Structure 1
Amino acid sequence: MTSESVQPMSGPSRRAVVAAAGAAGLTVALTACGSDDKASGSSTEQGAGGGAVLAKTSDIPEGGGKIFKDEKVVVSQPTAGEYKAFSTVCTHRDCPMVDLKDDIISCTCHGSQFSVLDGSVKKDPAVKPLEAKQISVNGDSITLA
């Protein structure tokens, strides 16, 4: 029987490979977190409070509202100068809602309807009102908090 010396394999160690994979993953995550909204196709800007500027106050009709599909929110103006925001996710089965006529937002999944002025249910099967969202108005900009 002959004795041979065993040479370690050349190349990176397992520890170096795992560390490099972790660093690559971290780089991807940080790049995604730091992406510019304008580069991703979003039309929102940063507001004074750090939230996304959704619209100008003049974009929201009095007694009605406007849906912001990407943000899953509807902003309304129940009375002149008063602005409210609600989720556009139906409280019945979590369907996204994009059908807005006058002051009623409708769910195409099961037919629920809600008032965009106060979030209340106008037609079942939903029984819970829309979730209120925080917005702020600064000058003529409406910002999602």
Structure 2
Amino acid sequence: MTEPTPITRRTVVQLGGATAAGAGALLLAACTPAGSGQGSGDAGGSGGSATVELSSIPVGGAVSASLGSTPIVVSQPSAGEVVAFSAVCTHQGCTVAPQGKEFDCPCHGSKFDAATGDVLNGPARDPLKKLKAAVSGGTVTVTE
């Protein structure tokens, strides 16, 4: 059995640069919500479409759904009027949830208007990303 090579300060410094870079990349990846466009509320370029039954969306309320792997919220501010937004909070990328006429972020308390996506209460400063929503018969189709 051979004796282990002692770790010198030079070895630590030489390895430290590579290790620190790798650790930094891991930390950045862990802090950036997947599909959130770096926390900007971007729907993540998922493409495609999502469908929701109009009858499942309460008038004056909203429901959660998914557009690909991106969480979205679809609301019906008045009968037959439908709007959709990315459910990714623009503060730090948590997923907002419908609460009556607003969307609430469980992480830091931001609140957004369910009809406009505008910030009602921070710390978020930017509105939710608006998506395209079209009603055909009893079905709502949401796209980016």
TM-score, length basis structure 1: 0.60
1:92-132: per-residue Cα shift (whole Å, max 9, x none)?
A: 111222x3221121111111011111101111101111110
Instruction: Evaluate the alpha carbon distance shift between residue 72 and residue 122 of structure 1 in structure 2; reply closer, same or farther with a 3 A threshold.
Output: same
Partner of 2:82: 83
Amino acid at match of 2:54: T
Structure with the greater alpha carbon radius of gyration: 1
Tell me, yes or no, if structure 1 residue 116 matches structure 2 residue 106: no
Amino acid at match of 2:60: G
Counterpart CA distance in 1 for 2:50 and 2:91 is 29
Partner of 1:4: none
1:50-89: per-residue Cα shift (whole Å, max 9, x none)?
A: 9534211111111111111554111111111110001100
Percentage identity across paired residues of the two chains: 40
Counterpart CA distance in 2 for 1:94 and 1:51 is 21
Tell me, yes or no, if structure 1 residue 105 matches structure 2 residue 99: no
Instruction: Evaluate the alpha carbon distance shift between residue 53 and residue 95 of structure 1 in structure 2; reply closer, same or farther with a 3 A threshold.
Output: closer
What SS class does the counterpart of residue 83 from structure 1 fall into? strand
Query: Any unmatched runs of 5+ in structure 1?
Result: 1-49
Counterpart CA distance in 2 for 1:93 and 1:53 is 24
TM-score, length basis structure 2: 0.60
Tell me, yes or no, if structure 1 residue 63 matches structure 2 residue 70: no
What SS class does the counterpart of residue 142 from structure 1 fall into? strand
Counterpart CA distance in 1 for 2:94 and 2:136 is 31
1:10-35: per-residue Cα shift (whole Å, max 9, x none)?
A: xxxxxxxxxxxxxxxxxxxxxxxxxx
Contact 1:53–1:141 under 8 Å retained in 2 = no
Matched residues, number: 95
Partner of 1:9: none
Query: Any unmatched runs of 5+ in structure 2?
Result: 1-46
Instruction: Evaluate the alpha carbon distance shift between residue 61 and residue 73 of structure 1 in structure 2; reply closer, same or farther with a 3 A threshold.
Output: same
